[in-house]
Amino acid sequence: DAGITQSPRHKVTETGTPVTLRCHQTENHRYMYWYRQDPGHGLRLIHYSYGVKDTDKGEVSDGYSVSRSKTEDFLLTLESATSSQTSVYFCATSTVQGRSYGYTFGSGTRLTVV
């Protein structure tokens, strides 16, 4: 969706290097999420944010850190990339409107660690 932009779309990096992925949203949603998707595992939550400077760990947070200095931007950093972090990374945002709950994904970043 045009409301969530991930960059870069593709990246190849070397083992041991730091990598930062960016998620930018224009929806003004309070909650933002980072997932990774791997064959046989489905989507797994890495970290999420419930507001500016408010973040928490998900299921697979080891080796990852996040930052949210503005409502619209949520950054995911791989401190020292490893081959096991080769994956497709999706950002998502969510909003609650009455009984309706919306959860939307960005287009994804395909990261290869060599």
Partner 1 sequence: GQNIDQPTEMTATEGAIVQINCTYQTSGFNGLFWYQQHAGEAPTFLSYNVLDGLEEKGRFSSFLSRSKGYSYLLLKELQMKDSASYLCAFHYGGSQGNLIFGKGTKLSVKP
| Binding map of partner 1 across residues 57-76, x = CB under 8 A, - = no contact | -x------------------
Is residue 31 involved in binding partner 1 (CB under 8 A)?
yes
Tell whether residue 100 is a contact of partner 1 (CB under 8 A). yes
Q: What beta strand segments (E) does 2-108 contain?
A: 4-7, 10-13, 19-25, 31-38, 42-51, 54-57, 64-70, 73-78, 87-97, 100-105
* Number of Cβ within a 10 Å radius of residue 64: 19
For position 51 contacting partner 1 by CB under 8 A, the verdict is no
Q: Which of 5, 24, 45, 65 binds partner 1 (CB under 8 A)?
A: 45
Q: Which is nearer to partner 1, 71 or 104 (CB)?
A: 104
